[in-house]
Every structure is written in structure tokens, then in C-alpha cells.
Chains A and B, each alone.
Chain A
Amino acid sequence: MGRIFVLEDDKGWEAYYRRALRKYDLAFFNNGIEAIAAMDEEQPDLVILDVLLAGPTGFAVVHEMRSYPELENVPIIVVSSVKIREIDEKYGILKTFDKAEMMPSDLLSSVANALEVA
């Protein structure tokens, strides 16, 4: 069972992830500062994040993560209402989903693939 950090500040989406990804070991954060601090203690196997977050945006969290060697290769899946495809290549984002277009089965398979690789 993989350890997944989910950075999401919408309670409705948080409830959705809790249910959809219930077979995984999930930790939720509603802001980037707490998430980065937690990564100092424990390295997740996968990070799922939104872009619009408390304090630092998801962009900043990704940038911060990639600046630490131990977090450099942690897979990241971005699920957001904001189009952010331009950062995919630069920061090695595994997969980017638009919340309005994502299919639940695609999210589940992306998570499974990410944890398999990790």
C-alpha cells in the first residue's frame, strides 16, 4: 500500500479522494507549507496536488519539492481547475488532470501506475 500525500483545500474534493483512493494510505494537507514540512519527516510515494492552495501555490510546492534531492523523484499528479500543462516537462509531472475533464478510472490507473513505478 503506497503512502500518498494529497494537497487539496476543497472539502468536497477531499471527501471524494478519501473514498476513491481508500485502499491507499492517504495524508491530507490543505496548504503547501504543512505538506513540505511533513515531507521533511516522511517521504511520500506519491503526491497529488491542486494548484490553488493556501499560501504557496501548487507551482511553488512542486518547485520546492524538486529542489530537494530526496524529493526530486517523488511522482506528482496535478489535479486542478487551472490549466498548468506548461510545467509538466520542466518539473517532471507524471500526469496533469483538469478537474472538469478527468475520468475517475484515469485517476485510479495513474495512481496505480505511479505507485508501481515508485
Chain B
Amino acid sequence: MNANSGVVVVAHELKAPLSLVRQLALSLDLEDTPEARREISRQIVSTSERALRQVEDMLKVSRLDDALFEMEPVNPRAVCDDVVDELWKLFRFNRRELKIYYRNRRRLVVANTQLLHSVIYNFCLNAMNYGGEDLPSEIFISDKGYDRIRIEVRDYGPAVPTRIWRQIKDGVVKKPTEISMRPGSSGMGLYIAGKFTNYMNGKLGLTRHRDGTSFYIDLPVSGQLSLV
């Protein structure tokens, strides 16, 4: 991404939540009841937190080359639980549900907790945005052969275009553009997830279903036993 196009994409990514926060703040005065104002306040907080997380992720991407993120044994269940704890209110607010299923043995992966959290978080936001109304988004943690663990986030939304599917299948996560790859998306979340996945020696992929899409990350199993 050259400097100019990068700035444009980042600006566009941040303009949407900032515009919404402004709009919500202005609309507080138009509401008569405390309950309505509380609801708006909650949306302001959740929208701001999402925007902040986007900024933090972009900063992490800029620091990857400095190798500031240590690889360590990480419990994938704990990371996914944290993501669900962080996002369930936002999902409920948007009339969505986020479920988690453990299908793996209790083993650790070699990863960085912060980066893995960001990858799963981005997958989940993607699923929330594109999943059908009143349909759940689902996180699956499962063994992938003897030496890898897969963390997968499934939605029941529109299929990912063939062009994007091929790019991911071929291991090429394109730089984000102003043109959306899925509705309303610059591809920034996927780009960040791809950078973090590569850093952790993982594999990013997606599965197209008849009724939705699963994004997944495969990570190597750690030799250290899980104490959790």
C-alpha cells in the first residue's frame, strides 16, 4: 500500500465510526427518556471502542517489522472466550448472537495473544456485519491433524466473491482498497488479520458455504501442555 492510498483507506475506515459517534451524540438531545439516552450512550461507547481497536490494530501492523510481539504458548480457548466477552454486547445490540464451540483437545498454540485476539476479533466483526439477521455467528476451535489447531468463525451472510476466495486460497491477502470486497468493507480487517497470521507462522483461509462464509486461522500446536 503506498503512503497516499494507505492514508485514504485508513481515513475512510475511521470516518464511518467517527461520523456515527457524532450523529449519536447530537441525537442525545432529541431523546425524551433516560432509557433512550442510555441506549444511545451504550452505542457511542461500543462504536468508539471499535474505532479505537481499529487504530490499535493499525499501530500493531506498523510495529510488526520491529518484532515487538513475542511468540508464546497460548490457550486458544481463553483468547476466544475473551473475544466473546468483549463482543457479546455489541452483537446483542445489533440483534446478533455469537456462539463458541470447543472441538479440540486442550492444547496450546504457538502464537502471540494480542495478535491472535485481533485476528479472531476481526473475524467476528466481519461475521456480525455480514451474517443474516437473527442468525448466530459461530466460533469453532478444532484440531487440524496432529500438529495444528484451527480457529474458525462462521457467518450466514452473502458468499465471498470468487476473486477474493482465490486470493486467500493462494495465500495472497491483498492490500485494502477503497473498493469493497464485501459490502461496506475496504478489506482492512482481512488485511490486518493476514499480516498478523503470517507473523505467527499461521495460515489464513476461508471456506465458502451455500449459506455463508467461514474465515479461519490454523496455528501450530505448542509442545507445552495446557495448564488451563
A residues near B (Cβ < 8 Å) are 9-16, 19-20, 30-31, 52-55, 81, 99-100, 102-105, 108
Chain B interface mostly: helix
Measured CA separation A103–B28 after assembly (Å) = 12
Residues of B within 8 A of A14 (CB): 94
Q: Are A81 and B20 in contact (CB under 8 A)?
A: no
B8 lies within 8 A of chain A by Cβ: no
Residues of B within 8 A of A108 (CB): 30
Measured CA separation A11–B22 after assembly (Å) = 16
A53 nearest CB across to chain B (Å)? 6
The answer to whether A30 and B23 touch (CB under 8 A), given A11-B128, A19-B39, A54-B158, is no
Residues of B within 8 A of A13 (CB): 20
Residues of B within 8 A of A54 (CB): 158, 180, 182-184
The answer to whether A104 and B183 touch (CB under 8 A), given A15-B93, A81-B19, is no
B71 lies within 8 A of chain A by Cβ: no
Q: Are A100 and B182 in contact (CB under 8 A)?
A: no
Q: Are B184 and A53 in contact (CB under 8 A)?
A: yes
Kindly list 11 other residue pairs between chains A and B, CB separation below 8 angstroms, not including A100-B22, A108-B30: A9-B129, A12-B17, A15-B93, A16-B23, A53-B183, A81-B16, A99-B19, A100-B18, A104-B23, A104-B26, A104-B27
